[in-house]
Amino acid sequence: MEFDTWAPVYEAIRADFGFDRDADRAARDRLGALADGADPRAALPTLDAVVAIVGPAGDPVAECRALDPDHVVAVSTATSALREADVPIDLVVTDLDGTPHAVLAAATDGVPVAVHAHGDNRAAIDRWVPQFPIDRLVPTTQVRPRPPVVNLGGFTDGDRAAFAADHCGAERLRFPGWDLDHPVDAATDSVKARKLDWAARLLAWLERRRGEQFSVLDGRREALDLPDSIA
């Protein structure tokens, strides 16, 4: 993902949520300082066949096993269930919200982890990143990248995992453990609902770029309101 391609999409997301670009940049720079010596190109795996982007909804382990993928990318909070079931993981994608202990344990066992920096998670970055083995760390950002921090595309942990798999050469993407219709309380989870909407939009953009259709978007694809930057 070239940043000039991603930048208009980021600006559309930032405008929708009111994110502070400077805060995102500050988080990127803090992550970069803590990840000094990381080599994302060396740490990222080659995913050259069918890749399961495993989310935490439903029974992700059973759904993943039913697909029998060649590779597995864990969406942050799915990491615990996959590891408890001894499902091999090729890559974890996280912003350190939810189950950082499980993600750190995966990295310690040799699994590459793409740790994302944004304006709201600098405290988590400060707490957890120094504990990660540097050769397993892939620092990522949603603003312009600055080495060693890279921008692979994507916004939420889930769609960022799909963009990461695409970057790593995935032939086909599958989505066990996903529920874009997960009910939310409008009074308390309206932001989560909007993030899920954006995840769907970004997956629709990715499937167009790949010439592939993701089953997770079946029944909602035509109704998605895509901004001009990704339409």
Q: Has residue 4 been placed in a domain?
A: no
Q: Exposed, middle or buried by CB within 10 Å (0-12, 13-18, 19+), for 209?
A: middle
Q: What is the pLDDT of residue 58?
A: 95
168, amino acid identity: C
Low-confidence ranges of the chain (pLDDT < 50): 186
Q: Has residue 84 been placed in a domain?
A: yes
Domain range for 116: 22-178
Output the CA torsion 191→192→197→199 (10° steps). 120
Q: Has residue 159 been placed in a domain?
A: yes
Q: Has residue 169 been placed in a domain?
A: yes
In angstroms, the CA 215 to CA 96 distance is: 27
Q: What is the pLDDT of residue 182?
A: 64
Q: Has residue 122 been placed in a domain?
A: yes
Alpha helix positions (H), 45-189 = 60-67, 79-84, 100-108, 122-128, 157-167
pLDDT digits 0-9 by tens, 150-200: 999 999 999 999 999 999 999 999 999 999 986 555 455 788 889 999 999
Q: Has residue 147 been placed in a domain?
A: yes
3-state secondary structure of 54: strand
Q: Has residue 55 been placed in a domain?
A: yes
Q: Has residue 70 been placed in a domain?
A: yes
pTM as predicted: 0.96
Domains of the chain: total: 1
